[in-house]
Every structure is written in structure tokens, then in C-alpha cells.
Amino acid sequence: MASFIVLLGPPGAGKGTQAQIISKTLNLAHISSGDIFRENLKNETELGKKANEFMSRGELVPDDLTIAMIQDRLSRPDCVDGALLDGFPRTPAQAEALSKMLAEWGVGIDCVPYISVAPEILIERLSGRWTCPTCGYVYHEQFNPPVVVGYCDKDGSKLYQREDDKSETVTRRIDVYLTQTSPLIEYYRGRNLLAEIDGTLSIEEVTKKLLAEIKLKIG
Ligand code: ADP
Ligand code: ADP
């Protein structure tokens, strides 16, 4: 039976960090909407250019573009056994579209872990985040530093700081989360899928709690 897990939480909560770890443990495809948009931008596709108009301002990419992109991604063969969604859905319209898409395929969402972290902590997390341009792995200069400062442990690429992790855009992204994405907490709680996890714990402890919650829901 395929498993679909949606990781919910504000920018900087640790969704990407956790998804990298648990997608391997659970053997599920890791689908990060932000990574797909950044990949498209790097390859200078039409989607990448369009998405970047919104990303660079800390706004959400319009629902129609985002939903079409995810539908295409989830239709690929590596998702037949399920997927771990990181950063999608981010609006009620996206959540509805996802439910509809999965229902058409005869499957559904199994669990929505919500990683909660207060806004003050998010700013510190995002402003110290360094990202690998090759594998997308994320580090924090203080909380999760690479072995060699400035370079990825996995592939040795030179790390970079995302444009949208710079100060004004960070506060805008947190506001956008609070107004447009946080209603999904109640949306999924009402469907009995939500599992709230304290995202201020260490990376290892968050992983343990996440795996325990997922196990409860999908066995
Ligand atoms: P973070 O992990 O810091 O929350 P992401 O890498 O998930 O950031 O997303 C970066 C940007 O990509 C977002 O600020 C937004 O502009 C765009 N984006 C990613 N996912 C979505 C989505 N589901 N809907 C709309 N825009 C999105
Ligand atoms: P998101 O995908 O939700 O935007 P990330 O996984 O990219 O979040 O994490 C944001 C930043 O916070 C990164 O620099 C990451 O290394 C760091 N981080 C992630 N989880 C923790 C944690 N539990 N404690 C401290 N720092 C963390």
C-alpha cells in the first residue's frame, strides 16, 4: 500500500532537514516543491523564470502553476509506492487539489506531521542556513555545521546562501506562512491526520518523534 506523508511547518521549521533523513529510512520519494522550483530556475525553464518572480519576493508561486508541477512530479514511477511531500501543499486550494489527485489514484494522505517552531527562532534558523547547490542538503552555520566550513559533506560542493534567506524576504515568508499556510493545521487536524511535533528539539530528537508518529499512522 502506497504511503503519502505531508510535512507541514513554517519556513525554517526543519522540513527539508527531516525529509532528507526520513525519506531514506522509509524508502519514499522526497518531493520538495522549493527544490523543484530552484532546479527549474537553474535550468532556465519557463516555469523556473515564472516561479522566481514570486520566490524572490518571498511570495507563494500561484496555485495553478504549483499544482500542475506537483501533479506531474507525483505521476512519475518513483512515486508509485508513495511520497514524502515537503513544502506542498501551502494553501487550502493546494490541499484540496492534492486530496482530489490522490483520490483519483485510489490512495490518500496517511499522516501530516506538523513541525512547530516559533517565529523568533525561524529567523535565526533561516539567516544561518547554507544550502548545497548540487544535492540540496541544508546546513546551519551554528546548529548543523558541515565538517569543512563552506562545503557540502556529501559531495564537496561550495555551499551558498539562498537569496530568499536574506533578511526582508525572511520576514515576508513567515507572514505569508501565517496568513496563507497555517490554516492547513486546522484543515488536517479536522481530518484526523495531524501529528504536532516540537521542532525546537534537536534534529535527532525531531527525527525520532516523527518516525514514531508516522509509525502510529501507517504501521
Ligand atoms: P522553505 O523550506 O524555506 O519554506 P521552500 O524551499 O519550501 O522554502 O520554498 C521556497 C519558495 O518556493 C517559497 O517561498 C515559495 O515562493 C515557493 N514555493 C515552494 N513551495 C510552494 C508551494 N507549495 N506553493 C507556492 N509556492 C511555493
Ligand atoms: P525548512 O525546510 O522547514 O525551511 P530546513 O530543514 O531547511 O527547514 O532548516 C532550516 C535551518 O534550520 C537549516 O539551517 C537547518 O540546518 C536548521 N535546523 C533544522 N532543524 C533544526 C533543529 N532541530 N535544530 C536546530 N536547527 C535546525
Model pLDDT, residue 1: 72
Catalytic residue among 57, 162, 172, 217: 162
pLDDT score recorded for residue 40: 94
Q: Mark whether 15 is an active-site residue.
A: yes
Tell me, what DSSP letter sits at residue 84? E
For residue range 103-152, list pLDDT tens digits in order. 999 999 999 999 999 988 999 999 999 999 998 899 999 999 999 999 99
CATH of the domain at 90: 3.40.50.300
Judged against a pLDDT cut of 80, whether residue 101 lies above it is answered with: yes
> Residue 202 has what pLDDT?
97
Residue-number span of the structural domain to which 99 is assigned: 3-118+179-218
Pocket test residue of 17, 86, 120 for ligand 2, highest count of atoms within 8 A of CB: 17
- The residue whose C-alpha atom lies closest to atom 2 belonging to ligand 1 is 11
Q: Are 126 and 119 in contact (CB under 8 A)?
A: no
Domain presence at residue 170: no
Q: Is residue 210 part of a domain?
A: yes
Output the pTM of the full model.
Answer: 0.96
116 contacts 8 by C-beta, under 8 angstroms: no
pLDDT in tens, 144-190: 999 999 999 999 999 999 999 987 899 999 999 999 999 999 999 99
Query: What is the band of 56 on the pLDDT scale with cuts at 50, 70, 90?
Result: very high
38, 73, 125, 129: the catalytic one is 129
Write down the pLDDT at residue 118: 92
Q: Is residue 148, in this structure, part of any structural domain at all?
A: no
Residue 219: pLDDT band with limits 50, 70, 90: confident
Given this model, what pLDDT does residue 2 score? 82
195 burial level (CB within 10 Å; 0-12, 13-18, 19+): buried
Q: What's the confidence (pLDDT) of residue 218? A: 83
Catalytic-residue membership of 173: yes
Count the domains in the chain: 1
Of 5, 1, 14, nearest in space to 199 by CA: 14
The mean of the pLDDT values for the chain is: 95
Over residues 86-100, the mean pLDDT reads 98
Catalytic residue, candidates 15, 38, 73, 209: 15
